[in-house]
Structure 1
């Protein structure tokens, strides 16, 4: 299960997100449509298929006490959701507020999970990042 690509989507009036068809089948087959959504430190949300969340959760739970606030951010804000029959998931009001999600959102495949961004915020952050020097990890990377 590797997710990639961007999908411009809209939250409905109840805060539901319609999972793109290309991901829906994989999520149904590999995670029984069960997802976990939590905060990301960069101001978006992370959306995990439940099996991947369980691996991530265990890694976070085993961090030392000096990482307690990070544990609170990731674990304390995690919400389990299920895709409904039409492939929608409800983003809780608390998580929508935490990520400043408006109607227009962007779902990014990030390998084993997704990031869910407010579209305007993502565009601004991407433009800002494009103005900065590339990190050293790309020094020997060929494009």
Structure 2
């Protein structure tokens, strides 16, 4: 399970250092083989075995979900963690998520989200301000 937030810096070529605490787990889990694709407002990064499960579910969606299939499958790119512990995020994916130098990597259980840091901070502020009124019923009963 991946969890927690990591403030990271992406270089001009789109290289991103995978945090050390996740690197060993990813090497053991998938040999460093990851898949990156688009999501609403961010990128998602899956260990390849997890992505293959998601890919099958998305591919099986009906015709009316073609736009979603296009977003997830049509933009998916396979990457490998290099010997320096980095991944390369393509220019197309960086542009789609409006990623710049300052990015935030969020552990989301079986995958990661990669956000432009200012966008992530703004989203968190909106959530905090509207948490009570916009909270889904499925979250209301959660006691933390």
TM-score normalised according to structure 1 size = 0.96
Unpaired runs of 5+ residues, structure 2, are: none
CA positional deviation for 1:139: 2.3
Paired position in structure 2 for 1:142:
143
Paired position in structure 2 for 1:22:
21
Q: For 1:68 and 1:135, how far apart are their aligned partners in 2?
A: 26
TM-score normalised according to structure 2 size = 0.95
Paired position in structure 2 for 1:66:
64
**Number of aligned positions between the proteins:** 141
Quote the RMSD (CA, aligned, Å): 0.8
CA shift digits 1:34-75 (9 cap, x unpaired): 00000002x100000000000000000001111000000000
Q: Which moved more, 1:23-32 or 1:127-136?
A: 127-136
Unpaired runs of 5+ residues, structure 1, are: none
Poorly superposed stretches of 4+, deviation over 6 Å: none
Paired position in structure 2 for 1:45:
43
Paired position in structure 2 for 1:33:
32
